[in-house]
Structure 1
Amino acid sequence: MGLPRNPFWFLPLFCVILTILHLTPHSKSADDFTTIVYKGCAKQTLSDPTGAYSQALSSLFGTLIAQSSKAKFFKTTTGNGQTSINGLFQCRGDLSNVDCYTCVSKLPILIDKLCGKPIAARLHLFGCYMLYEVSGFAQISGMEMLYKSCSGTNIGGSGFEEKRDTALSSLGNGMSSSNGFYTTSYESVYVMGQCEGDVGASDCVECVKTAVQRAQVECGSSIAGQIYLHKCYISYSYYPNGAPKRSASASFTSPSSSSSSSSTPSGPGPNTGKTVAIILGGAAGVGFLVIFMLFARGLVKKKDGKCG
């Protein structure tokens, strides 16, 4: 059977395959620990005519990034006297050293982009956070709420809030012997809590229990929520089909930037789109190869026919 006379007969098929690949959702892992959660930027900008503050801040960032390759929490001071700057970073307790470094390395650039150079700034990514403040900056209570996110509506049916409250209660109890980071689950409700690295055990438990109470009040029947206090934060997520397996750098949900998001953590795993893309990409590659071989074969036969 000969090829169609139109030399571009394969273009419609080519366009169809490209359209399928274009419409295939790109993989966006829900456990991306570099997702921005929130920022806090002081209104007052650094007055730095001599450049002393900028030098101290640059030194602070460099020290924090260097330490993030071997520690999950580090706190230090750079500069001298009135130009000294206090700062710290902390990574989520289940991140590897490599992921911690990757996460923390992004923070100084993002702080500069989102805040400029204020006298104090704090930026939380899903896997880590960093803060700095000039010497003498007004301190706030460790229990002060900095940010909340309540996502989705109650699709858990009757008894969901009881399940969530039981899971959150277990979180509060578990923090007492967790070294500042604890995760657990109950009846498809996954919870996580972490305290700042220099907070004592009793203060950590008190902070987390306060955050739990705020979550119950602020998020109501939402199926996912995050509460960030100054010295600790918690999150919970409901998975009616069971929580997905975790990896060293994984978590079950990314905090939404909106407190009224309609998205839910349930559904196919984060790699589904990637798998489909790989399958379609392989099929497309085979299709292109077959088309090319048929086209080349037709040209050879046409050439032989002319020579015969």
Structure 2
Amino acid sequence: MQPVLRILHVQLLDVQRNLNTTFREVQGQIVTRNKYFATAQQGGGNDPGSTLFQCRNYLSIPDCAACFDVVSVQIRNCYGGAHGARVVDDGCFLRYETSAFFDQTTATFNAVSCGGNQTKGESSTFTSSVQQVLMNLQTTTPTITGFHAATKAQVPNNGPIIYAFARCIETVTQSGCFNCLNAASSDMPTCLPNSDGKAFADGCFMIYSTTSFFPGNQTISITPLKKQGSSKKG
């Protein structure tokens, strides 16, 4: 048994070393290059490592760096020598694997989180309004350079304002982004008519809320983009 234990010990050391190296590289990209999206790969040892970090674009760079500090500690607690782990936070997403995964969209992970309270008034109107906003985001976001969009819309008859945001990782294709958001938005109806909903997948993130969570100057009008198209990414 001793040789087997030694092999396992060496492999775990390789994973730990690669994790540390890629985390340092990602952190450097955030802080010194003001990046909201960063990847790093380390090919040494028996278990090459890949790390991907994605921060919400409506946050400041210091807030993104602080979010990375939090999730990088959390992911160490959950991977425990396994070959991969991920942590989803309100402000960012971190994933580490001992294999390549940067082009994945929904292959291994898809989840939804609901919050807030059920909306007052006409719930069917609120539900249809949220679904329309999410559908527009799903169509528009893949056409925008960087694959991210924030928007807001008011529910008819003086209803609440819906704030919504979508983001795909930058290493997927345009069609991969669309397919990922399609899968994410298809899970969102389980939250309605709650006032808050989030959907996560390997390659994307969507959120809606009746509470503002991004600066007003970052919103775009997604209806014209939906009709006309914008810059494309292959």
What TM-score results when the alignment is normalised by the length of structure 1?
0.57
Distance 2:100 2:138 in 1: 33
Determine if contact 1:153/1:223 at 8 Å carries over to the other structure. Answer: yes
Q: Are residue 131 (structure 1) and residue 124 (structure 2) matched?
A: no
Partner residue, 1:185: 152
Quickly say closer, same or farther: Cα 1:132–1:206, change in 2 above 3 A: same
The alignment partner of 1:193 has SS state of: strand
Determine if contact 2:191/2:197 at 8 Å carries over to the other structure. Answer: yes
Structure 2 residue runs of 5 or longer lacking an equivalent are 1-6, 155-160, 219-234
CA RMSD of aligned residues (A): 2.8
Quickly say closer, same or farther: Cα 1:226–1:244, change in 2 above 3 A: closer
Distance 1:136 1:193 in 2: 24
Partner residue, 1:231: 203
Quickly say closer, same or farther: Cα 1:235–1:143, change in 2 above 3 A: farther
Partner residue, 2:130: 164
Partner residue, 1:55: 17
Quickly say closer, same or farther: Cα 1:215–1:80, change in 2 above 3 A: same
Identical residues among aligned pairs (%): 23
Determine if contact 2:134/2:164 at 8 Å carries over to the other structure. Answer: yes
Which structure's CA Rg is the greater one? 1
Q: Are residue 116 (structure 1) and residue 89 (structure 2) matched?
A: no
Partner residue, 1:207: 180
Deviation at residue 224 of structure 1 after TM alignment: 1.2
Write out per-residue CA displacement over residues 77-120 of structure 1, whole angstroms, 9 at most, x where no aligned residue.
11325321111111112222222222212222222234433221
Quickly say closer, same or farther: Cα 1:136–1:232, change in 2 above 3 A: closer
Determine if contact 1:143/1:231 at 8 Å carries over to the other structure. Answer: no
Quickly say closer, same or farther: Cα 1:136–1:227, change in 2 above 3 A: closer
Distance 1:198 1:112 in 2: 24
Equivalent residue in structure 2 for 1:246, among 191, 212, 215: 215
Of structures 1 and 2, the one with the larger relative CO (CA 8 A, separation 6+) is: 1
Determine if contact 1:76/1:88 at 8 Å carries over to the other structure. Answer: yes
Q: Which amino acid aligns with 1:66?
A: G
What TM-score results when the alignment is normalised by the length of structure 2?
0.74
Partner residue, 2:222: none
Q: Which moves more between the two structures, 71-80 or 84-93?
A: 71-80
The alignment partner of 1:98 has SS state of: helix
Q: Which amino acid aligns with 1:197?
A: E
The alignment partner of 2:8 has SS state of: coil
Quickly say closer, same or farther: Cα 1:166–1:82, change in 2 above 3 A: same
Deviation at residue 245 of structure 1 after TM alignment: 7.0
Determine if contact 2:50/2:100 at 8 Å carries over to the other structure. Answer: no
Determine if contact 1:123/1:130 at 8 Å carries over to the other structure. Answer: yes
Q: Which amino acid aligns with 2:168?
A: C
Q: Which amino acid aligns with 2:90?
A: F
Distance 1:146 1:54 in 2: 26
The alignment partner of 2:118 has SS state of: coil
Distance 1:140 1:171 in 2: 20
Quickly say closer, same or farther: Cα 1:57–1:73, change in 2 above 3 A: same
Structure 1 residue runs of 5 or longer lacking an equivalent are 1-45, 250-308
Q: Which amino acid aligns with 1:47?
A: L
Deviation at residue 203 of structure 1 after TM alignment: 2.0
Q: Which amino acid aligns with 1:88?
A: L
Distance 1:91 1:244 in 2: 14
Distance 1:220 1:184 in 2: 18
Deviation at residue 234 of structure 1 after TM alignment: 0.5
- Displaced runs of 4+ in structure 1, greater than 6 A? none
